[in-house]
Amino acid sequence: MRKIYAGLFSSIDGVVEAPDQWQPSFDEEMGAALARMLDGQDAVLLGRATYSEWAEYWPTSTDEPFASFINNTQKYVASTTLDSVDEWSNSTLIKGSLTDFIADLRQQDGGTIGVAGSIGLVRSLIEQGLLDELTLMISPVVAGGGLRRLFADDSALTTFDLLEAQPTSSGALIATYRPVR
């Protein structure tokens, strides 16, 4: 059965939105962790906002090696408002139940399914018991108010097992968790 992994940049206060606005540095260990996450992936799940932003940038980007990876990888887009995702190659719009789609996708042959960005989608996957691993790259900064956090104030109690934790040279912590089911 295929696994679903998510990786997000986070501040100490749990902000995961717009890391380019608050993340003080990006170090070699973070780059290596991202490369490991991408290594086994052959599909990516994206929410509407991330898809829309990335579909404008990545198809013509020369920012390698990620441009080649994301442009050539199968992308599945979770959205109830988009009518089409035809503008970016290898993109499929999820129609109907996300839970049913994920159940079918897990049964297909292939590697890991990654989730990038897409805060609402990651939250939904955790709430529905569909996420297998969550990696947070926690930067030593308080981002403050006005930005989205991974977990809303009214989130249900959810427990995780720590699988691995690695401090980095910039003072960040790369922590990988598995939801307890």
Dist. CA 153–CA 149, nearest whole Å = 9
Helix (H, G, I), strand (E, B) or coil at 144: coil
Structure tokens at 173: 């912590």
| Whole-angstrom distance, CA of residue 93 vs CA of residue 110 | 19
Using the predicted structure, report yes or no on whether residue 37 has a pLDDT greater than 90: no
pLDDT tens digits, 94-141: 989 999 999 999 999 999 999 988 999 999 999 999 999 999 999 999
Start-to-end C-alpha separation, the chain: 17
> How far is it, in rounded angstroms, from Cα 54 to Cα 39?
20
Is the pLDDT confidence value at 145 over 90?
no
Reply yes or no on whether the pLDDT at 66 is more than 90. no
- What does the pLDDT look like over 9-30, one tens digit per residue? 999 999 998 888 898 888 899 9
- Percent helix, strand and coil across the chain, each rounded to 5? 30, 30, 40
Q: Cβ contacts of residue 111 below 8 Å, gap of 6+?
A: 2, 40, 41, 42, 43
